[in-house]
Chains A and B, each alone.
Chain A
Amino acid sequence: MTATTQSKPSQEEHPITRYVRKDRIPHIYCPACGIGIVLTAFATALDNLKFDIDKLTVVSGIGCTGRASGYFEADGFHTTHGRPIPFATGVKVANPELKPVVISGDGDLFAIGGNHFIHAARRNVDMLVLCINNFMYGMTGGQQGPTTPTGAITSTTRFGNIENPFNLVSLAASAGAVYVARWTVLHARRLAKSIEKALQKDGFTFIEAVSPCPTLYDRHNRFGSGLDVLKLYKEISVIRNFSDPMKAEIDYSTRIVCGEFVDEEKPEFTQRLAEQSARLQKR
């Protein structure tokens, strides 16, 4: 995590280190990986909100981002591949006082876990799903996944990806998420603000954080170093708040539409369950 891996630690502790399991540092992430920026944004959001950590459950699946839940000084669970959302659903339904936050990757959430994502969004179970999208499977060595751009080179698409990628914000919006946003890791402060907003909402919220994977994706596709990729993000990303998510398809070379796409209120699942249960118990 960026805050704890600075070369010259100051005398005073950085405000977000209290959210970090210090005995788990150093973390597993490669230099210039974007995951650390997102995790820092998440910790910053918790700190800005003075969030009650006892009520937080951080859940993640499998992959590089899947390790995220293990770095927070909070209740956390590292599920099997693709299953953080149903686990979080079980947590939330069983104890509605808790706020599950799912931090996981694009492969975990949208390939093996895709069905769980759309159904949790449809039910509107209160949780934040924070997807770090690096366009392929990092932990296993850079294979094609459900967000890999068409034509991209990965270890399983040596001659170019012939599949179409998901547009995650469009998928989340159409499945019923009450809050949908996309940022790149270059938009670290906007991302943190967005996480703050999502944490305060009552319902299924989704944030996509577009992240470099300089070790695999960006190297195979000749996007250069981590810094080069951030420069690219600066050049091609545009902020179009509340624009049509259907038209926000990512073109990794020319255009990444960022911003908030959905922010609305809908009855939340566990509240409806509690209301129904209260009515039945009065009979």
Chain B
Amino acid sequence: MASKAVLTGEMFTQGDIAAAEGAIAAGCRFFAGYPITPATEIAERMASRLPRIGGKYIQMEDEIASCTAVVGASYTGLKSMTATSGPGVSLMNETIGLAAMTEAPMVLVNVMRGGPSTGQPTEASQGDIMQAKWGSHGDYEIIALCPSSVQEMFDFTIQCFNLAETYRTPVFLLADEIVGHMYERLIIPPEDEITIVNRKKPTVPKEEYLPFKADGDLVPPMAVFGEGYHFYATGLTHDERGYPVMTPEAQLELIPRLCDKIRKNADKITQAATFETEDAEVLLLAYGGEARSAMRAVKDARAEGLKVGLFRPITIWPFPSDQLKKAAANAQQVLVAELNYGQLVYEVERHIRGEIPVHLIPRPCGVPHTPNELLKEIKRRTQ
């Protein structure tokens, strides 16, 4: 296996491996994980690749430890990630809150499988959409990107790292088993064509450094352990020095900033892809692996003269509200097809605000809708 960091060129590969290569191309040099179907291939790839390029791989005793080690590594300045599936995220949620609170840049890949509990380990699902947003306790914001192809597993993992570094926050690559285990062509661009963002470093003298004093963009510059800044971070509510403070004022200062650094930059973060939405009377919304079927269904509907368009949110969190409203401008209804029993549909309803009907096309089982099934549903709703 190659000892270069960026494997520029073409390969026929799997989504999970593309995510690992995307991470390495983004500069990730630390991976801690625990085996879990259907995300194990990411750990295996990182275990093979990282030692060859001077990176660090460690298999931890569980997902709690994996996620916590990633936060520790992030505080030493390494771009760090873990990869898991829903059951692992359930365990990691404790540390996701810690990472949000201590503003540790990190990337988590969730290759979603059927749940609840052990569910269907080898089958696809999009059942962790709300878990990604609301998994840990308390108020915080999360960023989650949702890939639909092997190429996007690579591209979006790089974007996840760039977002994590920009906003000092945990970021999800919210994939599903379909995309994780799909084999397709992957094109890895030359290293100098890949956009890389690194976290802001302090510019003040070490003794003046306040680790949680934010700049105008609400993001504090981040020193790393070992450079003599002697700074402290805690999961407790803290002031700009990082010291615990148990007053309402401290909470009112910190929590809105943690949320607003993402909310107020939502226009810079959110992304969506659209297809044939300009004149669409029916807007079909789908994401991840399910969006592949949805694309075919829209093309087939158009071939039959039906005015159907596809809206594919790329950032699930924050939700691309403005993009949805624009795509739905001429629509009479929105159909939400997802591999669960109804999750993102609540967010869609929240943004559509009852202006047009929103219908769920649920699929709480391991295989996506076929294009024909979606086409039938489109016809049923329009006739």
Contact = CB atoms under 8 A, between A and B. Distances in A.
Interface of A: 21, 23-24, 53-55, 57, 59, 67, 69-70, 73-80, 83, 85-91, 93-95, 97-98, 115-116, 119, 273, 276-277, 280-281, 283
Interface string B53-75: 11010101110111011111111
A87 B235 contact: no
Contacts of B80: 90, 94
A59 to B, nearest CB: 8
Contact of B51 (A59, A83, A95, A277): A277
Contacts of B226: 54-55, 57, 75, 95, 97-98
Contacts of A273: 51, 56, 58
Contact of A94 (B61, B72, B229, B230): B72
Contacts of A80: 68, 94-95, 97-98, 235
A23 B243 CA distance: 10
A280 B3 contact: yes
B233 interface: yes
A147 B29 CA distance: 39
A70 B243 contact: yes
Contact of A90 (B64, B72, B94, B231): B72
Given A78-B234, A86-B60, A94 B52 contact: no
Given A87-B68, A119-B61, A78 B232 contact: yes
Contacts of A55: 226
A81 B363 CA distance: 38
B231 A75 contact: yes
Nearest to B102: A77
B53 A281 contact: yes
B134 interface: no
Contacts of B32: 89-90, 93
B54 A78 contact: no
A88 B243 contact: no
B273 interface: no
Contacts of A91: 72-73, 75-76, 225
Contacts of B205: none
B194 interface: no
Contacts, number: 144
A54 B227 contact: yes
Contacts of B229: 75
A86 B233 CA distance: 16
Interface in B181-227: 225-227
Interface string B70-90: 111111111010000000000
B189 to A, nearest CB: 24
Question: 3 tightest CB-CB pairs across the interface, nearest first?
Answer: A90-B72, A90-B69, A78-B234
B156 to A, nearest CB: 24
A83 B232 contact: no
A67 B62 CA distance: 25
B225 A75 contact: yes
A70 B143 CA distance: 30
Contacts of B235: 78-80
Given A76-B231, A95-B76, 19 more contacts: A24-B243, A67-B244, A70-B244, A74-B230, A76-B233, A77-B102, A80-B98, A86-B65, A86-B68, A86-B69, A89-B72, A90-B58, A90-B68, A90-B69, A91-B76, A93-B69, A95-B77, A115-B65, A273-B56
A75 B230 contact: yes
20 contacts: A54-B227, A57-B226, A67-B244, A69-B232, A70-B232, A76-B232, A77-B233, A78-B235, A83-B65, A86-B66, A87-B69, A87-B72, A90-B75, A93-B73, A94-B76, A115-B62, A273-B51, A280-B3, A280-B51, A281-B3
Nearest to A55: B226
Contacts of B234: 70, 77-78
Interface in B224-256: 225-236, 241, 243-244
A283 B51 CA distance: 12
B30 interface: yes
Contacts of A23: 241, 243
Residue from A55, A116, A276 having most chain B Cβ neighbours under 10 A: A116
A21 B254 CA distance: 22
Nearest to B235: A80
Contacts of A283: 3, 52
A219 B243 CA distance: 31
A115 B60 CA distance: 10
A55 B56 CA distance: 19
A1 B145 CA distance: 47
B52 A93 contact: no
Nearest to A74: B230
